[in-house]
Amino acid sequence: MRKEYIEAGKIVTTHGVRGEVKLYPWCDDPEMFYDIETVYLDAKGTKPVKLLGVRFSKDMPLLKLEGVESIDDAAKLRDKIVYIHRDDIPMEEGEYLIQDLLGIQVVDADDGHVYGELTQVSPTGANDVYHVRFADGKERLIPAIPQVVIEVDIEGGVMKIRPLEGLFDDEN
């Protein structure tokens, strides 16, 4: 089931004396916080907090949250998880949230053969690598490139792939 509120990071400490908090981001592009108006301090979205400002210190976002006016207010938020509504996350065509990919079935694009379940995504710099657990329990890796990943149907829970020659040669 797709989560409505997505974990975006964890407040790790205070910053300054005016109530800013430093966030350890759990997203590919922390600059997305520039476009966010509201964050949530719970997974169900019942604790919305207006985001009044964002700036960066050493690649970590410093958030100014409504109602957090002092270092003491900010200290109370330490170790809190910050959530964002999924509709507020800017994404391009063909981009997916990692948590939406986890658990989907990986099948052959040509014959429908089921390879296994996508269990993990590892960023490598050039492209992500998908970890697929096969029926035999072994984990195999596939590059997340257009030549291999033919179609992703999040709603249907299926990823169609066309493995490069030799990719799964260790199956024998």
What domains are there in the chain, each with its CATH number?
Answer: 5-88 (2.40.30.60), 98-165 (2.30.30.240)
- pLDDT means per 10 residues, the chain with 172 residues, are 87 94 90 94 96 94 96 96 93 83 94 95 88 94 94 93 84 48
User: Looking at residue 170, what is its pLDDT?
Assistant: 64
User: Looking at residue 172, what is its pLDDT?
Assistant: 44
Amino acid at 36: I
Measured between alpha carbons, how far is 40 from 85 in angstroms, rounded to an integer?
Answer: 8
| 160 within 8 A of 109, measured Cβ to Cβ | yes
User: Looking at residue 99, what is its pLDDT?
Assistant: 84
User: Looking at residue 93, what is its pLDDT?
Assistant: 80
User: Looking at residue 169, what is its pLDDT?
Assistant: 75
User: Looking at residue 78, what is its pLDDT?
Assistant: 97
Q: Among 90, 71, 83, which Cα is nearest to 38's?
A: 83
SS3 sequence of 120-147: EEEECCCCEEEEEEECCCCEEEEECCCC
| 129 within 8 A of 101, measured Cβ to Cβ | no
Task: Judge if pTM exceeds 0.95.
Answer: no
User: Looking at residue 1, what is its pLDDT?
Assistant: 60
Tokens of 141: 């890796």
